[in-house]
């Protein structure tokens, strides 16, 4: 007995596969911007082209008078032998997101910036992109414990990120 599949059925099955890969991710329920302030270390990432060669990356977050979050990022390019550089950016919160969704403004560029998970004690967070283009594990400590790292990798896979692209970042 021969089975013939109609092209429409094949397209439908392929579309379901793609939709599954692009499934919606969760975001944190809300973030207290005062608790989020301070120094955060980038421990691992699916980086942007801009920061793919960075190490020792530290973001310093501060809430400004307009309710935006100013970020001063310091980093080294390639390895510890290179001098530290810095970059300023601004996070403009989506009005209805309880400080979980932002538009990040860096130089002349802008991109969505989502806090998809944050620890109750604000010791770590996971930052992402609605189209899963980038991902960051950040923490208040320079080194992330292996158990926590594995937990965040698993969480990221459940959110639909390609975890094979995650790179750990060296900190001093």
pLDDT at 24: 67
47 belongs to a structural domain: yes
Half-sphere exposure of 21 (CA within 13 A, CB side): 9
7 belongs to a structural domain: no
146 belongs to a structural domain: yes
The residue with greater pLDDT, 91 or 2, is 91
Query: To the nearest whole percent, how much of the chain has pLDDT over 90?
Result: 74
111 belongs to a structural domain: yes
Of the segments 5-14, 35-44, 100-109, which one has the largest average pLDDT value?
35-44
123 belongs to a structural domain: yes
Report the CATH number that the domain containing residue 78 is assigned in CATH: 2.40.128.20
- What is the number of structural domains in the chain? 1
The residue segments making up the domain with residue 94 are 25-168
pTM comes to: 0.84
99 belongs to a structural domain: yes
């Amino acid at each position: 007995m021969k089975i013939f599949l109609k092209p429409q059925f094949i397209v439908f099955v392929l579309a379901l596969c793609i939709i599954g890969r692009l499934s919606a991710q969760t975001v944190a329920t809300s973030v207290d911007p005062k608790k989020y302030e301070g120094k955060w270390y980038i421990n691992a990432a699916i980086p942007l082209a801009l920061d793919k060669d960075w190490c020792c990356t530290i973001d310093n977050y501060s809430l400004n008078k307009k309710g935006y979050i100013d970020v001063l990022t310091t980093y080294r390019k390639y390895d510890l032998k290179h001098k530290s550089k810095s970059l300023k950016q601004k996070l403009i919160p989506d009005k209805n997101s309880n400080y979980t969704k932002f538009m990040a403004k860096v130089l002349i560029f802008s991109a969505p910036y989502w806090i998809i998970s944050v620890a109750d004690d604000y010791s770590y967070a996971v930052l992402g992109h609605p189209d899963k283009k980038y991902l960051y594990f950040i923490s208040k400590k320079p080194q992330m414990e292996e158990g926590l790292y594995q937990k965040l990798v698993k969480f990221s896979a459940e959110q639909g990120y390609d975890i094979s692209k995650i790179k750990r970042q060296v900190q001093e």
